[in-house]
Structure 1
């Protein structure tokens, strides 16, 4: 090889190595990349300074979008690069709430590791009011301190809410988690008395199968 050409070849190699260290700019927007699970495009967005906590026109944040679609690797990448695990979208949802409503407890655990600070008790009431009957999500919250017999401001327990909303499977899930089938609400009604008032025979039969009474016990727990 001609000695004149060696330095030129080395210079070309150096330029190529330098180019390899800098990814090209993204060619699709961040939300489309999340939808498609395109980690390469997401890394390009992060490298080139895209705001990963900026909401789209519908008020959805990138982390929420990734959680909603179950994009575990992308969720990790966003969190590693500073995405806020406690940010709320336009609907007031946190990423952890989105994960649990969708039954994605693995993502929920990752968010907690990243310092998501949602209150487990508040989340339990949110899930119950939304009719979420996912066994794993409900158990996830009780393992972290949520009480299935806690009462909301009106005196209703999660079981009263599920029964009043006609959610039979959710009612069964809460009983399986240890909910007191005879707890009175703020008006002194047991879950069974609520079901009887509503005429909901499938839930009446379910509660009676677990020994529920229409009147609260005279003795306190």
Structure 2
């Protein structure tokens, strides 16, 4: 094998940088019913994701796309010609509750804890929108940035509590969310929660956490006397 020779006075060419495929968002122009098992059915107005990294089928002008939690081939003639490039596809998938596409983004190497311009993580958007499946998926990451605060100081727990998503509040607390964190207004998630059940959930979580820190368990509170 011949050795690589650098021309004197000329810097060596930079190594290629691996970049995740861009993602485009298109809108369906009309209803389409799949004609084959590997195709995707959709309705007029549906939003579909198309990745540049996916090879299109040139012979029939079709491309693979994702709509909701379904993936398959679609005819390009059925979607708008002008496409929008999604800058932060993982954030967008979390916000829309697109679990399948969220998994694709993560498996494609996109960071599950990246911040958008407002300092929000994908977990924040999933919690705000109430998409429980997306929250569960993001909590399985090695470092889910569970207590990351955006530019307003809000955490995923803040926004889930504020929007009344009890199941997501429970998931976040079970995952180790810090209910004592205050946002820029000096308010905790409990402070901004309007749902009494959510307030109670946060209080009980804090109670059990305090008991655990002091070495107590539920048996310590049982009355053994007859």
**Normalised by the shorter chain, which TM-score bucket?**
0.5 to 0.7
State yes or no: 1:183 paired with 2:181. Answer: yes
Q: Take 1:40 and 1:166, find their aligned partners in 2: how far apart are those partners?
A: 37
Residue 141 of structure 1 corresponds to: 138
> Compared with structure 1, are the counterparts of its residues 48 and 115 closer, same or farther at alpha carbon in structure 2 (3 Å cutoff)?
farther
CA contact (8 A) 2:127 2:156 kept: yes
C-alpha separation in 2, matches of 1:154 and 1:99: 20
Q: Which has the higher strand share?
A: 2
**Structure 1 partner of 2:23:** none
Gaps of 5+ in 2: 1-28, 41-55, 74-83, 116-120, 208-226
Q: 1:156 to 1:37 in 2, by over 3 A?
A: farther
Instruction: Tell me if structure 2 keeps the 8 A contact 1:96–1:111.
Output: no
Classify the secondary structure of the residue corresponding to 1:129. Answer: helix
Deviations 1:33-65 (A, max 9, x none): 6x5663279xxx71416263xxxxxxxxx5233
Residue matched to 1:125: 124
Equivalent of 2:107 in 100, 107, 113: 113
CA shift, 1:108, in A, is 3.6
1:47–1:120 distance in 2 versus 1, CA, 3 Å: same
How far residue 126 of structure 1 moved from its aligned partner, in angstroms, is: 1.5
The CA distance in 1 between the partners of 2:90 and 2:184, in whole Å, is 32
Bigger-Rg structure (1/2) = 1
Cα RMSD (Å)? 3.8
CA deviations 1:115-170 (Å, max 9, x no partner) are 55675552112112212222xx2243231533111111111111111111121111
Aligned 8 A contact 1:64 1:98 in 2: no
Greater percentage in helix: 1
Structure 2 residue matching 1:210: 3-state secondary structure? helix
SS at match of 2:127: helix
2:202 to 188, 207, 217: 207
Q: Which secondary structure state, in structure 2, belongs to the residue aligned with residue 63 of structure 1?
A: strand
**1:32 corresponds to which residue?**
32
Alpha-carbon spacing, 1:115–1:32, altered in 2? closer, same or farther (3 Å): farther
